[in-house]
Chain A
Amino acid sequence: MALDQATVARIANLARIKVSEDELQAWATDLSAIITFVEQLDEVNVDGVEPMTGVGDFSLPLRPDVVTDGGYAEVVTSNAPNGAHGFYTVPKVVE
């Protein structure tokens, strides 16, 4: 299926990637080629087939829901752009 410019704009918005108006058509052409390629799967009969959701034949482990780590906010935030006093910062979101 060919993706149109409106679809690309919608995807870009969902993905939070800025795509300018004049780039939309190039992306539409580019992504359509890949979507067309993967649509080969239409010809595979998957009636009664369960989706594969994990690789190993072991179940995921459970552990007690207790705190096992932490207490070093300064380290955790050490790579934050504009981090301050062990906190992350974002542009003002409440007027």
Chain B
Amino acid sequence: MAVLTDLTIAAARKGLDAGDFSARELTQAHIDAMAQHKTLNAFITETPERALADAAASDARRAKGESAGPMDGLPIAMKDLFCTADVRTTAGSHILEPFTPPYESTVSGRLKAGGSVMLGKANLDEFAMGSANITSYYGPVTNPWVASGGDNRQRVPGGSSGGSAAAVVARMAIAATGTDTGGSIRQPASFCGIVGMKPTYGRCSRWGIVAFASSLDQAGPMTRTVEDAAIMLQVMAGHDPKDSTSAPYATPNFSEKLAAGVKGLKIGLPREYRVDGMPAEIDHVWNQGADWLRAQGAEVVEISLPHTQYALPTYYIIAPAEASSNLARYDGVRYGLRVDGGDLKEMYENTRAEGFGAEVKRRIMIGTYVLSAGYYDAYYLKAQKVRSLILRDFTTAFESVDAILTPTAPSAAFVLGEKQDDPVQMYLNDVFTVPASMAGLPAISVPGGLSDEGLPLGLHLIGKPFDEVTLFQVASALEEAAGYDARPAGY
């Protein structure tokens, strides 16, 4: 019998259906892996008892010939940004350390109703703000990958969904949920060598997800194959009246064209992504990806997205502005940490000073500044206008291409401690992922190969709004051509 923790969603489903193993056995195998790899710090809260009970319930359903859906009985990790009823939800922050939601987020609820088994709450950057999973109050996550050639220095898994990515590549979970505001699903997927998919803004409900930047936040699947991502998104997506920005559209069959190939499709390579100083290995994997698609019959053309270089500065006005507004709710009164003070204002100030980490404070203060009287027009309004131009670039490009191919990140996973002292340097990690976020477009990172140091590098595809079907179609072709089967030693 195959090693249970090596199974994909698709393979595990077949095994469960055939009776080769039970959901309880599958879940226990992943719980054992969690215990074995505890030092990665991929989980903030583990829920093994609940997982085994839910797996037993799944087995009971199956014994009666019933199924709750395509994820029934499959053990997953839940990013600790999704509110989960009666399970502590911290958002990686000290300020939410004592918070146990009495309600369930729509996306985690859909996965739960679909029979999937939650193994625990995955570590993340505090309030999803970070690109290395080093800002978590509960400690950094270790990337299971180390460089080849004896360089054993600890690497970051990327962020903010770093715990989710590490759990999936280390075979502690068959899949995981992530959330993506500027690259928080795709960049860690690239750093860990897995598939990470951000759907179109509005495809998944944001209800019950701890808010960071509401016009950008979007949930998505993190898996080991493109097919698994399509299966998992099918369960996560759907209109939700409780989120007014949830799209009132029917959910397509995301797996419909996985095997259709790319013959006749047109793929764009944006020339502005060929930035100065791009490492040769990033350029190489990008060219390789274009060659693979061309070899399978796609037409690959150069396109222009003229405002690309302004996406990151636009993001670092809009996302902090929204964050400063969203995080105003943490006041020590209604939930979370309270630190007493001489009066109400001092209680607020003490609570927020102690409850938030440095990166969160930084973004709240930037956001407060760009929204403050006298600066609003110069920064926030200006950024909203540039955001229109970024969207217009994509709209124009998609008149002539079906999808856009870029690298996911400008480097492979870096060593823990690097880039830590210079926030702007850290922000540059998201240079290739932020533009699609600004435009609300679906995008996916697929493993493309290994760097010179033997670390995974992702390829990034951007699709048309609400056309995830074509995005999965191209991603599947890319995955097949890449034939990526590398895994970190010892996992």
Give me the interface of A with B, judged by CB distance under 8 Å: 3, 7-8, 10-12, 14-19, 27, 30-31, 33-35, 37-41, 44, 46, 49-58, 60-61, 63, 75-82, 88-91, 93
Q: Which of B147-155, B157-165, B329-337 contacts A (4 or more CB under 8 A)?
A: B329-337
Which secondary structure dominates chain A's binding surface? loop
Which residues on A sit within 8 Å (CB–CB) of B335? 79-81
Query: Is A16 touching B352 in the complex (CB atoms < 8 A)?
Result: yes
B69 CB within 8 Å of chain A: no
B369 CB within 8 Å of chain A: yes
Which residues on B sit within 8 Å (CB–CB) of A18? 346, 349-350, 352-353
Instruction: Take A12-B365, A17-B352, A35-B369 as given contacts and tell me if A78 and B102 are in contact as well, using a CB distance cutoff of 8 Å.
Output: yes
Give me the interface of B with A, judged by CB distance under 8 Å: 98-102, 201-202, 215, 241, 244-245, 247-248, 307, 309-310, 313-314, 316-317, 324, 328, 331-338, 340-350, 352-353, 356, 361-362, 364-366, 368-370, 372, 379, 381-389, 391, 422-424, 427, 439-440, 465
Which residues on B sit within 8 Å (CB–CB) of A81? 98, 332-333, 335-338
Which residues on A sit within 8 Å (CB–CB) of B102? 75-76, 78-79
Complex: A34 Cα to B369 Cα, angstroms: 11
Query: Is B340 touching A91 in the complex (CB atoms < 8 A)?
Result: yes
Which residues on B sit within 8 Å (CB–CB) of A17? 349, 352-353, 356, 361, 364-365
Q: List 12 A-B contacts (CB under 8 A).
A: A17-B361, A18-B346, A19-B353, A38-B317, A46-B389, A49-B389, A51-B388, A55-B201, A55-B245, A56-B201, A79-B102, A91-B342
B377 to chain A, nearest CB (A): 10
Which residues on B sit within 8 Å (CB–CB) of A78? 100, 102
Complex: A75 Cα to B310 Cα, angstroms: 45
Complex: A40 Cα to B314 Cα, angstroms: 9
Query: Is A56 touching B338 in the complex (CB atoms < 8 A)?
Result: no
Complex: A19 Cα to B335 Cα, angstroms: 23
Query: Is A90 touching B344 in the complex (CB atoms < 8 A)?
Result: yes
Which residues on A sit within 8 Å (CB–CB) of B316? 34, 37-38
Given contacts A19-B353, A56-B440, 20 further A-B contacts (CB under 8 A): A3-B369, A10-B372, A16-B345, A37-B313, A38-B379, A39-B313, A41-B310, A41-B383, A44-B386, A44-B389, A52-B384, A52-B388, A53-B384, A54-B215, A55-B215, A55-B245, A60-B244, A77-B334, A79-B98, A81-B337
B131 to chain A, nearest CB (A): 15
Complex: A76 Cα to B333 Cα, angstroms: 12
Ordered nearest first, which 5 A-B pairs have the shortest CB separation?
Answer: A51-B384, A55-B440, A81-B338, A79-B335, A18-B353
A12 to chain B, nearest CB (A): 7
A92 to chain B, nearest CB (A): 8
B201, B346, B382: the one contacting A41 at CB < 8 Å is B382
Instruction: Take A44-B307, A91-B340 as given contacts and tell me if A15 and B350 are in contact as well, using a CB distance cutoff of 8 Å.
Output: no
Which residues on B sit within 8 Å (CB–CB) of A76? 102
Closest to A47 in B: B385
A95 to chain B, nearest CB (A): 10
A53, A55, A57, A82: the one contacting B338 at CB < 8 Å is A82
